[in-house]
Amino acid sequence: MARHDFDPATAPPDGRPPAKERLFEGAAPWRGFVNGESLGGPVTILTYGNETPGEGPPLHVHPYDETFVVIEGRARFFVGRAVIDAGAGEVVMGPKGVPHRFENLGPGRLQTVDIHHSPRWIQTDL
């Protein structure tokens, strides 16, 4: 089924060239990030992975929304007072200004792609 969500004439190119950056080294997307500003774009992309249940980033906060895409494994997200369990193929939203963290629920590897709705990664650990 073909999609026709908008008229292309209403969104002309703005003159930015295509761009490319490396998000991670090697075959496994362990951990890495690309600031959107290096690509001329509005979002920053991070990749995060670990093999240890209970392990994850510390509690932190951003001045913008963050969207988490679970690529492999299972994670428990703590977003403000909410606790959200998510598995491969699921997406979790962390609203701006709300402290959050996540951890590997196991068993095995957790891998996420984290979309920071900002051209730069800005974070305060709590």
Tens digits of per-residue pLDDT, 58-108? 999 999 999 999 999 999 999 999 999 999 999 999 999 999 999 999 999
Identify the pLDDT of residue 22: 86
CA 36 to CA 52: how far, in whole Å? 29
CA 75 to CA 103: how far, in whole Å? 5
22 located within any domain? no
CB 9 within 8 A of CB 30: no
Identify the pLDDT of residue 1: 86
Identify the pLDDT of residue 116: 98
Name the residue among 124, 89, 93, 109 with its Cα closest to residue 30: 109
Identify the pLDDT of residue 29: 64
pTM for this one?
A: 0.89
75 located within any domain? yes
Identify the pLDDT of residue 28: 65
Identify the pLDDT of residue 27: 64
87 located within any domain? yes
15 located within any domain? no
What is the identity of the amino acid at 46? L
5 located within any domain? no
Instruction: Determine the structural domain holding residue 90 and report its residue range.
Output: 35-125
Identify the pLDDT of residue 70: 97
How many domains does the structure of the chain reveal?
A: 1
Identify the pLDDT of residue 16: 85
CA 74 to CA 119: how far, in whole Å? 28
CA 126 to CA 78: how far, in whole Å? 13
User: Which CATH number is 121's domain given?
Assistant: 2.60.120.10
The pLDDT tens digits for 7-63 are 989 989 889 888 998 887 776 667 889 999 999 999 999 999 999 999 999 999 999
